[in-house]
């Protein structure tokens, strides 16, 4: 199979999920402990709000992606299960509670994300910095990955967060440029690419990461084009996963990609110079993020 030309799109699916799209449900003491801790410290998780298919596996490993700045988003992307509306006021005590949770879970790596907060003058940038500072104070050995919104029309916000030097700065492009108007209204593909480039310019030592979902009807050539744009912005790590429709009111799945197609995309990404690439039906931004961070460090060391 060629690294440069993953398989072309197949015909639209019939509606039934293929056999490789199966979520394994578990109920473990670690999962229950993670849930109880999040409830006790009043912390939200994107795992729950976005109906992530990997929740059971990750929480059983005591890994949760914390979602700060509330559970209500100011945008309405066609793929996302997070509620849209008027957000609550920012909770100034949230960073301290977050730091305590990370310390109690004894995490070696944590992922912090948020809803879009277009209502805030800085889009929530200062809150991200407060969260980074609180984690470092409470759990200094924990490495920090942030997954931010685009901070569009918020001057200086990107640089403010990048200057806090998270270990990984992730911002997902989500889909190919042609589909932005229908899948990610209110966002700009060009702005997202520029964001990642500005992060690397502000904090050259920070790993940058981005991801997209497939199955919206994009072509393989369009996915390869996104890879080229991300590499031009010096992005280090790429994730590609299958879009799964959370409810009938969200965008339809045009097709389910075969696992061999994901592997071909992974090979194509590595051939383009990404330090790391993860591609599979269930790949998500923070899936196995702790292990991937160690691989990133090893890949950078080997390349230097």
Assign 90 a pLDDT band (cuts: 50, 70, 90). very high
CA-nearest of 256, 258, 264, 269 to 1 is: 264
pLDDT above 70 (res 159): yes
Q: What are the residues facing 240 on neighbouring strands?
A: 212, 279
Distance from chain centroid for Cα 164:
19
In a domain, 79, yes or no: yes
Q: Confirm if 222 and 183 have CB atoms less than 8 A apart.
A: no
pLDDT, position 67 = 86
Residue 22 lies in a domain: no
Residue 6 has pLDDT above 50, yes or no: no
Q: Is residue 184 one of the residues assigned to a domain?
A: yes
CATH number of the domain residue 217 falls in: 3.20.20.70
pLDDT tens-place string over residues 97-156? 999 988 988 888 889 999 999 999 999 999 999 999 999 999 999 999 999 999 999 999
Alpha helices in 106-216 (DSSP H): 125-138, 157-162, 180-183, 189-202
The total domain count for the chain is: 1
Is residue 8 in a domain? Answer: no
Q: What is the pLDDT of residues 30-80, one digit of tens each?
A: 666 666 666 665 666 554 444 555 455 555 555 667 889 998 999 999 988
E strand map for 74-199: 83-84, 109-114, 143-147, 168-170
Say whether pLDDT at 13 is over 50: no
pLDDT band (50, 70, 90) for residue 285: confident
Quick: pLDDT tens for 15-37.
Answer: 577 776 665 556 666 666 666 66
pLDDT at 304: 83
User: Do strands 44-45 and 66-68 pair parallel, antiparallel, or not at all (unpaired)?
Assistant: antiparallel
Average pLDDT for 192-208: 98
Q: Say if 3 falls within a structural domain.
A: no
Question: What is the pLDDT, as a whole number, of residue 32?
Answer: 66
Q: What is the pLDDT of residues 233-270, one digit of tens each?
A: 999 999 999 998 888 999 999 999 999 999 999 999 99
pLDDT top residue among 289 and 273: 273
Whole-number pLDDT of residue 10: 39
Is residue 19 a part of any domain in this protein?
no
Confidence label for 193 from pLDDT (cuts 50, 70 and 90): very high
Query: Would you say residue 17 lies in a domain?
Result: no
Query: Which structural domain range is residue 155 located in?
Result: 29-303
29 vs 273, higher pLDDT: 273
Give the integer Cα–Cα distance in Å for 30 and 27: 8
Q: Is residue 54 part of a domain?
A: yes
Residue 2 has a pLDDT of 36
CA 172 to chain centre: 6
Cα 292 to Cα 13: distance, rounded to the nearest angstrom: 32
pTM, 2 dp: 0.86
């Amino acid at each position: 199979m060629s690294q440069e030309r993953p398989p072309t799109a197949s015909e639209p699916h019939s509606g039934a999920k293929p056999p490789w799209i199966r979520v394994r449900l578990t109920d473990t003491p670690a999962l229950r402990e993670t849930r109880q801790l999040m409830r006790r410290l009043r912390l939200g998780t994107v795992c729950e709000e976005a109906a992530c298919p990997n929740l059971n596996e990750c929480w059983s490993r005591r890994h949760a992606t914390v979602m700060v700045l509330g559970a209500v988003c100011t945008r309405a992307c066609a793929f996302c299960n997070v509620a849209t509306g008027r957000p609550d006021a920012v909770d100034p005590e949230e960073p301290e509670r977050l730091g305590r949770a990370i310390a109690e879970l004894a995490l070696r790596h944590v992922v912090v994300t948020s809803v879009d907060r277009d209502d805030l003058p800085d889009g929530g940038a200062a809150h991200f910095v407060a969260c980074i500072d609180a984690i470092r104070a409470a759990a200094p050995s924990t490495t920090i990955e942030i997954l931010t919104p685009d901070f569009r029309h918020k001057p200086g916000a990107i640089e403010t967060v990048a200057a806090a030097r998270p270990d990984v700065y992730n911002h997902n492009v989500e889909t190919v440029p042609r589909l932005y108007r229908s899948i990610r209204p209110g966002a700009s593909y060009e702005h997202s690419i520029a964001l990642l480039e500005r992060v690397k310019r502000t904090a050259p030592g920070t790993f940058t990461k981005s991801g997209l979902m497939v199955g919206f009807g994009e072509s393989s050539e369009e996915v390869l084009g996104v890879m080229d744009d991300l590499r031009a912005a010096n992005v280090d790590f790429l994730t590609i996963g299958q879009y799964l429709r959370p409810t009938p009111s969200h965008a339809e799945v045009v097709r389910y990609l075969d696992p061999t197609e994901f592997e071909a995309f992974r090979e194509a990404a590595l051939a383009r110079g990404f330090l790391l690439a993860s591609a599979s039906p269930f790949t998500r931004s923070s899936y196995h993020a702790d292990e991937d961070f160690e691989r990133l460090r090893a890949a950078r060391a080997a390349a230097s």
